[in-house]
Amino acid sequence: MMRNAFAICLLAGACACGGNEKGATSTYFSGEIVNPTSDFVVLYRGEEVLDSARLDADNRFVISVDSIEPGLYHFVQKPEMQYVYLEPGDSMQMRLNTVSFDESLAFSGKGEVINNYLINLFLEAEAEDPLIRDTYTRMEPERFLSRMDSLKDDKLAALEQLRIDENLSDEAFEVARASILYKNFFYRERYPFWHRKLSPDKTFHELPDNFYDYRELISYNDPRLVFLRPYYDFMTYHIGNLAYMECQDSCEEDSPTVNEQLHFNLHQLNLIDSLVTSGELRDNLFRTVAFEYLLKNDSEENFEKFMADFHQVSGKNRHLGEIEELSESIRNLRPNHPIPSLQVESTEDQSVHLSEIDPGDGKKEVVFYFWSGPEPKHLMAISQKVRLLEDRHPELRFVGICMRTDREQWKRLIAEYGLDTKWQFRAEDFEHFAHTLVVYHPYKTIVCRNGLIVDGFANLNTSF
C-alpha cells in the first residue's frame, strides 16, 4: 500500500489550519496528479458537485467536506473519472499518473483498504472480460454457470476475509459485494446472446431451469448503487434483455436489429416504469433509453411517438431539458433543413459559417466529418479513411471539423497528418457544437448541398 510523505504533510497542514472549524467529522480527500490533463479535481456525489480544488504548482490538491454520508463518490480529472469510497472522518490520499489513469491509481491514509480493493477489483474485471466474453461464453450453459459461480465465490470469500481482517464497515462491504455480484450478473445476462453469436449454428441454446435464479437477488431500488458502474451496466442490459423477451412473446417483427425498433424501446420504457421507483436510477435509465433510441434517428413518425410515450412515463425526468435539446437538434438535422448557423475558424484565422463553406471545383456536396486532438488514434484512422473516400468519390468535398483542441495543437496536427489546410476548420465551443450537430459517434458525418442537409446522420465507414 502506497504512502506518500507529501500527502501526509499536505493533509496535516490542512487539518492544522482548519481543524478547529471543521471538527472530527470532516472528511479529507487529497493527492497528486502526475501529467494532469486538467487544472482541477472535482469530487461528486452522484451528479452533485461536492467540491473542487485547483492543482498547485506541484500538481497536488486538497478537498475537505463536512458531514458526508458514507458511500460511493467519484472524482473527475477531465476527461477521466474513477470511484472513491468515503466515510465521515476519512483522510484519503491518492496518487495517479494520467498516462495510465486506472492502473497507476493508489490510495493511502484512513479509508485506503476499501479503495485499493475497489480499484483492484475494477482492474481485475477488465482483465477477465476478454476471457469471459471470448472463452467462457463458448461453453454450454451448465459449464458456463459452473465457471461463473467459481469466479464469484472466490471473490466473495476474499472479500469476507478482508472484512474480518480490516474491520470493514457494513456500508463498505455492501458496495464491494455489489460490485462482485452485479458484474457476475451482467455476464449471465449477456451469455445467451454472446453464445449464439459464437456458436456454429447461430441459435439460442436451451438454458437450464435455474439459469436466471440470480434475478431473485436483484435490487431495483437501492440508492447506494445508482452510480456503481457494474450495477448500472447490469441494469441497462437487464432491462434490454427483458424487453427483448417481451418482443419475442408479443411482437410480430423478429429483426436482428430489434433494439433499434420503436416497439422494443417502448417495452423498455414500460419496464423501467413498472420495476424502478428510485428517482435517480429511474431517471438515468430513462435517459439512457432515450439517447440510444433517438440517436438511431428512426422515422419522423416513430420519433414523435417515442417522445410522446417518454413524456407520459417520465415527464418530470431530471434530464428532460437535455433530452428535449437532443430531440430538437435531431429535428433540425432532417433532410432539407438548413445546416445550423454555427461558426468555425479557418486555418487563416477567419470566422466562417458552416453554410458558407462551398465545395468548389464543381463538386456537388460537402461532407463534414469530426475529429479531436486528444484522440490521435482516431485522427489517424479517420484521415486514412477520408483519403480513400476522396479517391472513390471525387464529386464530394470532405471537410474536417476539429473539436476539443486549442489553435496551436490543431495547426500542428494538420501539418503532422498532411491534411489540406483549405478544408480544415476548428470549432471553439465544443459542447455547443457537439450538441447542436449531435456529434455522439466518432465517425458521424453530415452531408450538405447548397447549405441544406442531405443526410444529417451519415457514417464515414458505412454511408459512402
**Domain termination residue (choose one: 110, 140, 157):** 110
pLDDT in tens, 331-369: 999 999 999 999 999 999 999 999 999 999 889 999 999
Residue 100 pLDDT greater than 60, yes or no: yes
Number of domains in the chain: 2
200 is a domain residue: no
pLDDT in tens, 291-333: 999 988 678 899 999 999 999 999 899 999 999 999 999 999 9
> What is the mean predicted confidence (pLDDT) over 166-180?
96
325 is a domain residue: no
- Please report, as a single letter, which amino acid is at residue 435: H
Residue 18 pLDDT greater than 50, yes or no: no
**∠ CA 286-287-290, rounded to 5°:** 85
Residues 6+ apart with CB under 8 A from 72: 83, 84, 85, 175, 224, 225, 227, 228
Residue 402 pLDDT greater than 90, yes or no: yes
Q: In what order do the strands lie in the sheet with 106-110?
A: 60-65, 27-34, 91-97, 106-110
CA–CA distance, 171 with 176 (Å, rounded to integer): 9
What percentage of the chain reaches a pLDDT higher than 90? 80
Give the torsion through C-alpha atoms of 33, 81, 51, 27, to 10 deg: -80
Place of cell 441454446: 205
30 in Cβ contact with 40 (< 8 Å):
no
326 is a domain residue: no
155 is a domain residue: no
260 is a domain residue: no
What's the CATH code of the domain at 77? 2.60.40.1120
Residue 24 pLDDT greater than 80, yes or no: no
> What is the mean predicted confidence (pLDDT) over 83-111?
94
Residue 89: all three cell numbers together: 472522518
Judged by DSSP in three states, 82 sits in: strand
> What is the mean predicted confidence (pLDDT) over 105-117?
96
124 in Cβ contact with 154 (< 8 Å):
no
The boundaries of the domain holding residue 60 are 5-110
pLDDT in tens, 30-46: 999 999 988 999 999 98
CA–CA distance, 449 with 454 (Å, rounded to integer): 7
CA–CA distance, 363 with 215 (Å, rounded to integer): 57
Give the torsion through C-alpha atoms of 200, 201, 204, 208, to 10 deg: -70
Between 19 and 416, where is the model more confident?
416
66 is a domain residue: yes
**Domain termination residue (choose one: 110, 127, 143):** 110
Can you give the pLDDT at residue 327?
A: 94
pLDDT in tens, 180-237: 999 999 999 999 999 999 988 888 899 999 999 999 999 999 989 999 999 999 999 9
Per-residue DSSP letters for 409-462?
A: HHHHHHHHTT--GGGEEE-S-HHHHHHHHT--STTEEEEEETTEEEEEEEETTT
Strands 396-403 and 365-372: parallel
**Domain termination residue (choose one: 88, 110, 132):** 110
CA–CA distance, 73 with 45 (Å, rounded to integer): 5
264 is a domain residue: no
- Please report, as a single letter, which amino acid is at residue 6: F
225 is a domain residue: no
What's the CATH code of the domain at 402? 3.40.30.10
pLDDT in tens, 251-276: 765 555 676 789 999 999 999 999 99
Place of cell 469530487: 43
